[in-house]
């Protein structure tokens, strides 16, 4: 161990430990802590304990360039199992049960899951810490820690690690000296010293950067790169020669076709200018078409609004027309009712007139019959008077005859029969007179009844006359109403005709609007087709312009590559 410490002191003379990283500082004991007596500017102290040991706080208060970080350094940034051993110096990523063959009394107290970090990751996070010149690994397994410290090893001069010696099984992989040397095979480090500790199979190893081997390795790498670059240069040179030969072979044809290309380029330029002019004209035309389409759209909107107004007005007119037609039907029905009523009244008037005429005729007949009966009565009265007179004469003659008969006393039979006949005739005249008197009484009664009937007929005639006058007045009023209704019908008919003409006119206007809208839509569709065709032509012109510009660029490249142009 003293030899190793002396070697470290010598190495510090050649490779100053100005920037140092110490992983697994622990309790601050052991020969590896000899660097604390050196003039170290910046030191990074790393351990798994969250709280820094007391000696670390003391050192940090003295050295402003030193710092402490709590971290578990491993080969990757991941979560790992950290083992706490009965001997705190042996706590780490290596399971204590694996070390019982070396230390039988060593036991595992606790296993916790902790996040590990690579040394390169930790140094990159710190940022301000410079590239370390010395790296000290005072923990097991060192080989796994070195796998995550490739960038740190690139600038490291001295590596001091804790390791295991001898032919150990795979259970100790990562901690054996052979594993550490295998990890350092790609770096120019040389082992300069080893020393065992309290156990012969566990100790420390000191590696120093072999500058000669590094230079040889660097030279070897440079030689490989040189050979690779030489081969690539030869390939490029051969390719350049082939290209020159091909270019020389093509130059004749290119010279022959250059004038044609120049003429074609000039034609293309002229076409390009023409295309640009056409494109500009098409753009202006498209703008004009868009303005026309916009105006047509506004006109279509105005036509749609006018159509809606027309439809609304037509609906209102139809409602008014329906109302007028309904009122017309009502008036016509009322007129029919009045006409029927007038006809009924006319028939009643005719019937009354006919009845009055019949009654008048009957009255006249009865009057004539009364006059006739009166005349007959007067005649009969005259005859009765005559009969009475004759009866008186006959009675007188009968008395005379009776007197004569009495005087003659049984006159002749002829005079007696004559007397009896005269007596029977007298009795017959008395019976006829009685019947005549009865007839006269009957006639008087009929005359009274006729007089009464005449009065009733007169009253009925007056009532009928008044009713006829009322009917005449109602007829006049109905005539006036009919005249007024006919006038209203005439006005309504005229309004209906006007509405029909207006509806026809509106329908024609609507048809005209529809036709105008259809024409506008057709015109818009044609404009859209023209715009689409214009856009297609513009796209073709743009593609043609792009091809022409590409050909012009190709001609320019040919001219620039051609020697002497």
24: nearest Cα among 163, 183, 154? 163
Would you call 53 helix, strand, or coil by DSSP?
Answer: coil
Q: Which domain holds residue 114?
A: 2-209
The number of beta carbons lying within 10 Å of the beta carbon of residue 515 is 10
Distance CA 500, CA 497 (A): 5
Work out the pLDDT band at 557, boundaries 50, 70, 90: low
Mean pLDDT lowest among 110-114, 271-275, 464-468: 464-468
Is the pLDDT reported for residue 22 higher than 90?
Answer: yes
- CATH number assigned to the domain comprising residue 149: 3.40.50.150
Separation CA 339–CA 389 (nearest Å) = 72
Whether the predicted pLDDT of 154 surpasses 60 = yes
H helices, E strands: number in the chain: 8, 10
| Residue located via tokens 């590559």 | 561
Is the residue at 134 inside a domain?
yes
Q: Tokens 């052991």, residue? A: 30
* pLDDT greater than 80 at residue 161: yes
Cβ count near 12 (within 10 Å): 18
Q: What is the phi-psi region of residue 26: left when phi exceeds 0, alpha when psi lies from -120 to 50, beta otherwise?
A: left
pLDDT score recorded for residue 62? 92
Lowest mean pLDDT among 211-215, 517-521, 527-531: 211-215
**How far, in Å, CA of 124 to CA of 143, rounded?**
21
Mean per-residue pLDDT for 38-58?
Answer: 90
Asked whether residue 320 is assigned to any structural domain, the reply reads no
For the segment 131-157, the average pLDDT, to the nearest whole number, is 91
How far apart are the C-alpha atoms of 261 and 258, rounded to whole Å? 5
pLDDT above 90 covers a percentage of the chain that reads 14
Say whether pLDDT at 412 is over 50: no
Question: Is 106 a domain residue?
Answer: yes
- The tally of domains found in the chain comes to 1
Residues in the chain: 565
Establish if 57 belongs to a structural domain. yes
Examine the pLDDT at 365 and tell me if it is beyond 70: no
Which range (118-122, 190-194, 200-204, 266-270) has the least confidence?
A: 266-270
Beta-bridge mates of residue 196: 203
Q: Is the residue at 481 inside a domain?
A: no
Q: What's the confidence (pLDDT) of residue 492? A: 64
Which of 399-403, 406-410, 431-435, 534-538 has the least mean pLDDT?
406-410
Domain-embedded: residue 462 = no
Structure token digits, residue 456: 């009733």
- Across the range 299-325, mean pLDDT stands at 72
Range from 144-148, 169-173, 193-197, 291-295 carrying the lowest mean pLDDT? 291-295
Q: Is residue 322 part of a domain?
A: no
Q: Which residue has the higher pLDDT, 486 or 70?
A: 70
- Specify the DSSP element, H or E, that contains 246: helix 211-408
What is the tens place of the pLDDT at every residue in 314-350?
Answer: 677 677 767 767 766 776 676 677 667 767 766 766 7
Q: How confident is the model at residue 459 (pLDDT cuts 50, 70, 90)?
A: low
Q: Are strands 66-70 and 42-47 parallel, antiparallel or unpaired?
A: parallel
Mean pLDDT along residues 513-531: 73
Identify the weakest region by mean pLDDT among 54-68, 257-271, 464-478.
464-478
pLDDT over 70 at 559, yes or no: no
Which two tokens mark 438?
């009865």
Residues 558, 555: Cα–Cα separation, whole Å: 5
> What whole-number percentage of the chain has pLDDT above 70?
61
The 3-state DSSP class for residue 155 equals: coil
- Report pLDDT for 377: 57
Tell me: pLDDT of 285 over 50: yes
**Rounded Cα gap, residues 96 and 99, in angstroms:** 5
pLDDT at position 206, please? Answer: 93
Confidence of residue 254 (pLDDT cuts 50, 70, 90): low
Residue 407 has pLDDT above 60, yes or no: no
Domain contains 117: yes
Arithmetic mean of pLDDT over the chain: 75
**Beta bridge partners of residue 159, listed in sequence order:** 135, 207
- Better-predicted residue by pLDDT, 370 or 207: 207
**Which residue reads 């709280």 in tokens?**
51
- Note the pLDDT of residue 451: 55
- Model confidence pLDDT, tens digit, residues 213-244: 656 666 777 777 777 887 787 887 777 777 77
Q: Cα(352)–Cα(460) distance, rounded to whole angstroms?
A: 10
Residues paired with residue 207 on neighbouring β-strands, in sequence order: 159, 191
């Amino acid at each position: 161990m003293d030899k190793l410490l002396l070697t470290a002191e010598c190495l510090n003379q050649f490779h100053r430990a100005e920037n140092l990283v110490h992983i697994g500082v622990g309790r601050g004991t052991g020969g590896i802590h000899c660097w604390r007596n050196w003039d170290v500017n910046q030191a990074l102290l790393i351990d798994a304990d969250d709280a820094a040991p007391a000696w670390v706080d003391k050192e940090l208060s003295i050295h402003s360039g030193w710092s402490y970080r709590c971290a578990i350094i491993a080969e990757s940034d991941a979560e790992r199992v950290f083992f706490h051993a009965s001997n705190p110096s042996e706590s780490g990523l290596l399971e204590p049960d694996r070390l019982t063959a070396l230390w039988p009394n060593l036991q595992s107290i606790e296993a916790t899951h902790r996040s590990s970090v690579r040394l390169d990751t930790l140094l990159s996070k710190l940022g301000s810490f410079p590239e370390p010149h010395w790296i000290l690994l005072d923990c097991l397994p060192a080989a796994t820690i070195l796998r995550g410290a490739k960038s740190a090893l690139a600038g490291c001069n001295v590596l001091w690690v804790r390791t295991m010696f001898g032919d150990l099984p795979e259970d100790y992989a990562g901690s054996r000296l052979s594993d550490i040397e295998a990890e350092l095979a790609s770096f120019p480090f040389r082992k300069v010293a080893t020393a065992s500790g309290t156990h012969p199979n566990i100790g420390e190893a000191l590696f120093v950067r072999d500058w000669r081997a590094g230079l040889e390795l660097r030279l070897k790498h440079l030689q490989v790169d040189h050979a690779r670059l030489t081969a690539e240069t030869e390939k490029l040179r051969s390719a350049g020669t082939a290209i020159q030969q091909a270019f020389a072979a093509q130059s004749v044809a290119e010279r022959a076709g250059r004038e044609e290309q120049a003429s074609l380029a000039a034609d293309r330029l002229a076409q390009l200018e023409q295309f640009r002019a056409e494109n500009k004209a098409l753009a202006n035309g498209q703008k004009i078409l868009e303005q026309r389409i916009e105006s047509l759209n506004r006109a279509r909107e105005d036509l749609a609004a006018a159509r809606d107004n027309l439809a609304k007005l037509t609906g209102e007119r139809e409602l008014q027309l329906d109302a007028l037609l309904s009122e017309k039907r009502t008036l016509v029905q009322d007129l029919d009712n009045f006409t029927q009523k007038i006809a009924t009244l006319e028939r009643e008037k005719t019937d009354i007139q006919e009845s009055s005429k019949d009654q008048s005729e009957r009255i006249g007949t009865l009057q004539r019959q009364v006059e006739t009966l009166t005349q007959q009565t007067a005649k009969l009265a005259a005859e009765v008077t005559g009969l009475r007179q004759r009866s008186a004469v006959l009675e007188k003659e009968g008395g005379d005859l009776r007197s004569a008969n009495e005087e003659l006393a049984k006159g002749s039979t002829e005079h007696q029969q004559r007397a009896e006949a005269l007596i029977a005739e007298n009795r017959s005249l008395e019976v006829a007179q009685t019947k005549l008197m009865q007839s006269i009484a009957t006639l008087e009664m009929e005359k009274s009844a006729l007089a009464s009937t005449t009065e009733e007929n007169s009253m009925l005639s007056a009532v009928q006359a008044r009713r006829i006058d009322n009917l005449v007045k109602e007829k006049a009023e109905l005539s006036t109403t009919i005249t007024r209704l006919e006038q209203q019908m005439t006005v309504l008919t005229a309004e209906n005709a006007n509405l029909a003409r207006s509806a026809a006119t509106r329908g024609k206007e609507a048809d005209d609007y529809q036709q105008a809208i259809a024409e506008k839509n057709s015109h818009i569709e044609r404009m859209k087709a023209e715009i689409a065709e214009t856009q297609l032509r513009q796209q073709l012109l743009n593609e043609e312009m792009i091809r022409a510009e590409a050909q012009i660029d190709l001609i320019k490249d040919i001219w620039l590559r051609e020697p002497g142009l």
